């Protein structure tokens, strides 16, 4: 991390994501190390942890939680989890629990408990003064009744909600989100763009003052990475260049991944290679 900070002094935030970060037993220790360097630490989570875990993480300096939630309804929750390859995302204890419950025809109870636990952890984190947001992906019109229930719950709890378009669903997803926002008679109050990233968002305010955010992707590519990528030409590039993803691989080395869709020497490299790469120089040029 220190080598990254030397070349990117503007680096001020680390966001844990991918898989389920709270399953990492080292998360509190890693957080404490990062906060000691003066970095702000955030995580995306499915909220499947305990109040004790939450307290430990917050004491270590993890004070910002983006809770991903697919549905409040156990039936829909189950469908989305199965469709998204739930088994792949689960760790071993959960897999055993899942297999055991499946045998007893208890999938639905499993889904109910997942939803209940996540909502309880959102309330608890909010009560403890953490920065809490709910993220929900809207794939299309078919999701809008789930989206509405999540919206009503978030509004009642006073927790900010962010609607994310489904990168794989293209305009169907974007149009469904716009349709939903129109139905709320919300007013656009702010557009935000992250410099040097494809991240952007629009903030909408409802008549009662509650605000919700539509988080989107804009067309922003790294010339040094995307120059020869066929997806740049055929329109199938989904996320563009979003940010630096650092991952510790099984070989013990840190790797930098700059693109979710294409894995090659231009987008996937060891940290040492990244520190000497034209991609880093280009990223630095946007931050000056
Ligand atoms: S898929 Fe990745 S490498 Fe290809 S254009 Fe998009 S961001 Fe660039």
What pLDDT band is residue 99 in, cutting at 50, 70 and 90? low
Lowest mean pLDDT across 73-82, 86-95, 157-166, 229-238:
86-95
- The 3-state DSSP class for residue 221 equals coil
Buried residues in 129-158 as b, exposed as e (16+ CB within 10 A): ebebbbbbbbbbeebbebbeebbebbbeee
| The predicted structure's pLDDT at residue 91 | 56
| The predicted structure's pLDDT at residue 89 | 46
For 177, other C-beta atoms within 10 Å of its C-beta total 24
- Residue among 168, 222, 225 whose CB has most ligand 1 atoms within 8 A, to mutate: 225
182-199, pLDDT tens digit by residue?
A: 999 999 999 999 999 999
Cβ of 226 less than 6 Å from ligand 1: yes
19-55, pLDDT tens digit by residue?
A: 899 999 999 999 999 999 889 999 999 999 999 999 9
DSSP string, 122-159: HHHHHHTT-EEEEEEEE-SGGGHHHHHHHHHHHHHHT-
Strand partners, 211: 205
Cβ of 166 less than 6 Å from ligand 1: no
Higher pLDDT, 164 or 9: 164
For 189, other C-beta atoms within 10 Å of its C-beta total 10
Residue 226 burial by Cβ neighbours in a 10 Å radius (0-12, 13-18, 19+): buried
- Residue among 232, 245, 257, 266 whose CB has most ligand 1 atoms within 8 A, to mutate: 232
| The predicted structure's pLDDT at residue 88 | 43
List the Cα angle 196/190/175 in 5-degree steps. Answer: 85
Residue nearest to atom 1 of ligand 1 (CA): 237
| The predicted structure's pLDDT at residue 103 | 54
Residue nearest to atom 3 of ligand 1 (CA): 226
| The predicted structure's pLDDT at residue 198 | 96
| CATH code, residues 2-218 | 3.20.20.70
Q: What value does the mean pLDDT of the chain take? A: 90
CA atoms of 233 and 39, how far apart (whole Å): 37
125-147, pLDDT tens digit by residue?
A: 999 999 999 999 999 999 999 99
> In the chain, what are the domain boundaries?
2-218, 221-288
State in Å: Cα 262 to ligand 1 middle. Answer: 6
- For tokens 């897999």, name the residue: 95
State in Å: Cα 133 to ligand 1 middle. Answer: 28
- Residue among 197, 198, 229 whose CB has most ligand 1 atoms within 8 A, to mutate: 229
State in Å: Cα 144 to ligand 1 middle. Answer: 30
- The 3-state DSSP class for residue 263 equals coil
């Amino acid at each position: 991390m220190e080598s990254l900070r030397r070349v990117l002094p503007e680096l001020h935030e680390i966001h844990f994501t991918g898989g389920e970060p709270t399953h990492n037993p080292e998360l509190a220790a890693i957080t404490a190390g990062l906060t000691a360097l003066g970095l702000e630490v955030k995580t995306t989570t499915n909220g499947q942890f305990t109040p004790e875990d939450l307290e430990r993480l917050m004491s270590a300096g993890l004070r910002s939680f983006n809770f991903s939630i697919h549905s409040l309804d156990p039936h829909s929750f189950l469908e989305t989890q199965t469709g998204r390859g739930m088994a792949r995302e689960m760790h071993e204890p959960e897999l055993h629990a899942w297999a055991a419950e499946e045998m007893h025809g208890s999938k639905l109870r499993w889904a109910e408990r997942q939803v209940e636990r996540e909502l309880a952890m959102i309330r608890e984190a909010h009560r403890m003064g953490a920065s809490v947001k709910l993220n929900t992906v809207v794939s299309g019109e078919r999701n809008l009744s789930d989206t509405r229930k999540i919206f009503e719950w978030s509004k009642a709890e006073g927790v900010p909600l962010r609607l994310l378009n489904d990168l794989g669903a293209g305009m169907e997803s974007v149009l469904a989100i716009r349709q939903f926002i129109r139905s709320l008679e919300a007013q656009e109050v702010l557009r935000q763009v992250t410099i040097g990233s494809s991240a952007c968002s629009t903030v909408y305010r409802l008549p009662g003052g509650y605000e919700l955010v539509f988080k989107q992707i804009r067309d922003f590519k790294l010339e040094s990475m995307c120059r020869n990528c066929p997806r740049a030409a055929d329109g199938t590039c989904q996320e563009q260049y979003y940010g630096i993803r650092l991952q510790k691989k099984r070989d013990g080395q840190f790797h930098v991944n700059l693109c979710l869709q294409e894995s090659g020497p231009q987008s996937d490299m060891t940290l040492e290679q990244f520190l000497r790469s034209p991609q880093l120089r280009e990223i630095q040029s946007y931050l000056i």
